[in-house]
Chains A and B, each alone.
Chain A
Amino acid sequence: MYLKRFYGPPATEGDPPRVIGVKMLRAGRVQHFSAGFLDGGQGEGWLIRTADAVTIRATTGPVVYRLIRGPGAYCCYCEAAIPDAGTLLEPGLTIGRKHVLSQHGDALSPDPTNPAGYRVEHHYTGVLVGDTVEATTPEEAAQMERGVRDALAVKLRTKYGDTRGASAARRALKTAAAGGEG
């Protein structure tokens, strides 16, 4: 996302100029919003957030993202939310890992960047729907976002293979090239 902020005179003399609006120069199909970004936009008056949407009131018209997910931990296989996923149940076993092992076995994680099979997101995930949130259903938006993630996963698998052992394999190659020292 590429935003251009417009500034007006400060509310009080001596204060910095205040943001009076934004122009949307580029809006991606899927966007991750940090809490700080949402709070900042709301505070400056150019962003409206509801339970299911973020509307950026750009000078060129509203740009609406349907929110499909909030911060939290999610299973990479079944997309279930996993509360307290990072809590250690015993040495080496988190609640999230226990969910993965009990529900999905030790199969390769669908997400190459999260080999443990669950992921933690620190952002709100939005899908661009145009100028009104009614332009798409929550299911359609979720499917679109999943498609984008799956496409990235395919690319990464093509490049890195099984990321569970990728860095170890790279180091083994390096050690071998150095004649076993390394």
Chain B
Amino acid sequence: MANIVMNIALGRVAELYNRVDLNDPANSALIVVVLATTGIETDAVLKDKDDLAAVVAGTTNEVTNAGYARKVLTDADIVAFAPDDTNDRVDLDIPDQTWTGVAAGDGWNDLLVCYDSDTTVGTDANIVPLTQHDFVVVPDGSDIVAQVAAAGFYRAS
């Protein structure tokens, strides 16, 4: 489950996730971004950032290792939006993610799950950060797997 939820996403994560599953707007997606260890700001600082451009505007940086690219998760990747009426909650899940052949370079510190309303246009200023998760890895050329908890990356209740 999420280590922190960005303030801009409070009360919105489940609906933005559902938007991607609905394909409404068309081309919407969840974007998984990795933040570097060097220069990373505190959770208290990052929690206030309202878009991805703002997240990396200070000393915080996205990693630049060869082999790294942002993961783009579309409606096909969202297994099932299925509210749990027994426990009165909604668990939001995404598949485990693997970055293949990631070269040494930046150390990895956190994963951001973001919402992009249009994967064809726009900039990082149009991408909304939803949740941030601890993910400390030192790349060495091998594959890197982000294993998502069985219950998912976020629970709305």
Listed in ascending order, the chain A residues whose CB lies under 8 Å from chain B are 1-5, 7, 16-17, 22, 26, 28-34, 36-37, 73, 85-88, 91-94, 96-97, 112-123, 148, 152, 155-156, 158-160, 163-164, 166-168, 170-171, 174, 182
Contacts and interface: CB of A to CB of B under 8 A. Distances in A.
A38 B54 CA distance: 39
Given A85-B143, A91-B141, A120 B100 contact: yes
Interface in B71-128: 71-72, 74-87, 93, 95-104, 119-122, 124
A120 B72 contact: no
Contact of A114 (B18, B61, B69, B122): B69
B121 A96 contact: no
B141 A92 contact: yes
Contact count band on B? 35 or more
B37 to A, nearest CB: 14
A123 B95 contact: yes
Nearest to B120: A155
Contact of A168 (B64, B76, B95): B64
Contacts of B143: 85-86, 94, 96, 120
Contacts of A119: 98, 100
9 contacts: A32-B95, A94-B141, A113-B70, A115-B68, A117-B101, A123-B79, A158-B121, A164-B66, A170-B62
A79 to B, nearest CB: 15
B62 A167 contact: yes
A136 B2 CA distance: 40
Given A92-B104, A97-B101, A166 B69 contact: yes
Contacts of B75: 28
Contacts of A160: 69-70
B65 to A, nearest CB: 8
Given A86-B143, A113-B71, A159-B122, A4 B64 contact: no
B11 interface: no
A39 to B, nearest CB: 11
Given A118-B100, A122-B96, A170-B62, 11 more contacts: A88-B140, A97-B100, A115-B69, A120-B100, A120-B145, A122-B95, A156-B119, A158-B121, A159-B120, A159-B122, A170-B56
B82 A3 contact: yes
B63 interface: yes
B3 interface: no
Nearest to B64: A168
B25 interface: no
A164 B122 CA distance: 19
Contacts of A34: 79, 93, 95
B69 A96 contact: no
B129 to A, nearest CB: 15
Contacts of B79: 1, 31-34, 37, 123
Contact of A96 (B82, B96, B100, B122): B100
Contacts of B157: none
Given A93-B141, A97-B101, A155-B119, A163 B70 contact: yes
